[in-house]
């Protein structure tokens, strides 16, 4: 019976369909998660490794002599050394479809909360501050504003639809431009990276984290944005230079930001914690029970597919499959 190691507790309901044919090891609900060191000690005998919040680095991969597939609980997989996995012929699985709706919703929630100051007002009311001016430009309406979407994949497209429902005009940039048919379907205008930066009232990030995107939003880009513009990041933390962002927010280079992801999670740039014009959430964009259960099914489906000699759609390096 093939053995599957899971780094964190998952509901029994997720594993039940496979238990007759596969042997699962995962921590109890009380323990919650295995440490990296515990994973390293156990991984040698397992056929598959399902990562919920841990690493799949070269050290782990080299120790896992029997490993046939590794899966990540999310769209991104920068916590896995997937390039090395590809070199040694190890398939890497992700969850590209089941996070879409929840993540897009959260990105839009951050957008509204940030542009309308919801989190700031909440903090003030709890402190006994009743800040209700008759005339103030501290916040702005979402309706009629231009949203720039950086990365027009599944989540970017869903954010586009939701933003248009709020009355926003949408422009986008993606390394791989969508077809004219898709642009017409979504009523969206393609622009260069620089033009999206210059013309957006709010920019939301939905691009993958790859080396060329490291700190792609930096001090220079913030200076090119409107001083009335907002930045939303529900993609990956290292896309944004947090120190430069904190300075831009503090200096008024841009007006506000909403962040669900950070460079060094769970640590957050200390200056960001001191600012009122930034809304912060702890990487929970996909955190609905429906989405998380779906992510488990999608990851496990990919794992089982590989173990059964199939070619699942959610293998990110399909070239290793023969």
Which residues are catalytically annotated?
A: 236, 265, 283
Q: Compute CA 167 distance to the chain's CA centroid, rounded to the nearest angstrom.
A: 25
**Which pair of tokens denotes residue 42?**
């156990």
Neighbouring CB atoms inside 10 A of 274's CB total 10
135 phi-psi bin (left φ>0, alpha ψ -120 to 50, beta other): beta
Neighbouring CB atoms inside 10 A of 115's CB total 22
Residue 68: C-alpha distances to residues 205, 229, 318 (Å): 33, 47, 13
Complete DSSP assignment for 174-191: -SSPPPHHHHHHHT-EE-
**Which pair of tokens denotes residue 283?**
């990487």
Measured CA angle at 308 (ends 306, 314), to 5 deg = 30
Task: Return the SS3 of 219.
Answer: helix
CB 233 within 8 A of CB 209: no
CB 203 within 8 A of CB 240: no
């Amino acid at each position: 019976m093939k053995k599957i190691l899971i780094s964190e507790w998952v509901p029994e309901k997720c594993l039940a369909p496979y238990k007759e044919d596969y042997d699962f090891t995962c921590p109890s609900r009380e323990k919650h998660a295995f440490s990296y060191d515990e994973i390293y000690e156990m991984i040698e005998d397992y056929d598959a490794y399902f990562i919920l919040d841990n690493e799949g680095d070269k050290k782990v991969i080299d120790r896992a002599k029997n490993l046939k597939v590794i899966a990540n609980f999310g769209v991104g997989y920068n916590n896995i050394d997937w390039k090395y996995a590809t070199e040694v012929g190890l398939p890497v699985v992700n969850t590209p479809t089941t996070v879409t709706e929840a993540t897009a919703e959260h990105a839009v929630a951050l957008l509204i909360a940030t542009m309308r100051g919801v989190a700031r007002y909440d903090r003030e009311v709890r402190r006994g501050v009743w800040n209700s001016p008759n005339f103030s430009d501290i916040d702005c309406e979402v309706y009629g504003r231009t949203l720039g979407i950086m990365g027009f994949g599944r989540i970017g497209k869903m954010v586009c639809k939701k933003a248009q429902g709020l009355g926003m005009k949408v422009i986008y940039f993606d390394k791989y431009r969508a077809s004219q048919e898709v642009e017409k379907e979504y009523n969206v205008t393609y622009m260069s990276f620089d033009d999206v930066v210059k013309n957006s009232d709010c920019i939301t990030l939905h691009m993958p984290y790859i080396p060329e995107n490291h700190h792609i939003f930096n001090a220079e880009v913030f200076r090119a944005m409107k001083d009335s513009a907002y930045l939303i990041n529900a993609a990956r933390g290292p896309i944004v230079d947090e120190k430069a962002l904190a300075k831009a927010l503090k200096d008024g280079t841009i007006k506000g930001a909403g962040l669900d992801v950070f460079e060094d999670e769970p640590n957050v740039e200390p200056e960001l914690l001191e600012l009122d014009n930034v809304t912060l959430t702890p990487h929970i964009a996909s955190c609905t029970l429906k989405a998380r259960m779906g992510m488990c099914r999608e990851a496990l489906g990919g794992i089982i597919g590989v173990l059964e000699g199939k070619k699942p759609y959610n293998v990110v390096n399909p070239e290793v499959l023969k």
